Amino acid sequence: MSVSKEEVMHIASLSRLELTDEELEKYTNDLSNIVDYANELASIDIEGVKPTAHILDIKNVFRDDVVDSSYDREKILQNAPTKAAGCITVPKVVE
């Protein structure tokens, strides 16, 4: 099944795209190739192939959650223009 120029023009219209004649030719050819490839994939016999969620074995690559020392709060807040209760204060912007 190939994609027609009218179908590409319709898709371009829905997408609010203006295509030149050269772009119309290119995209018609590209979309036809994509649809043909998808049809080729659909015709492959997959009987007996076990479905997978991922092609590689998935394992947890995160590090262990270890409690570590934090930065000194006073040192962090030393350059804050205003602070209260160990936090940086900012002007209210929502009423």
Q: How confident is the model at residue 1 (pLDDT cuts 50, 70, 90)?
A: low
pTM: 0.50
Alpha-carbon distance values, 75 to 39, 42, 51, 69 (Å) = 63, 62, 54, 14
Mean pLDDT of the chain: 89
To the question of domain 5-42 being in CATH 1.10.20.60, the answer is yes
What are the residue boundaries of the structural domains of the chain, listed by start?
5-42
Tens digit of pLDDT for each residue in 15-56? 999 999 999 999 999 999 999 999 999 889 989 888 877 777
- pLDDT value, residue 37: 94
Residue length, the chain? 95
User: Which SS3 state, helix, strand or coil, does residue 75 take?
Assistant: helix
User: Residue 37: left if φ>0, alpha if ψ -120 to 50, beta else—which one?
Assistant: alpha
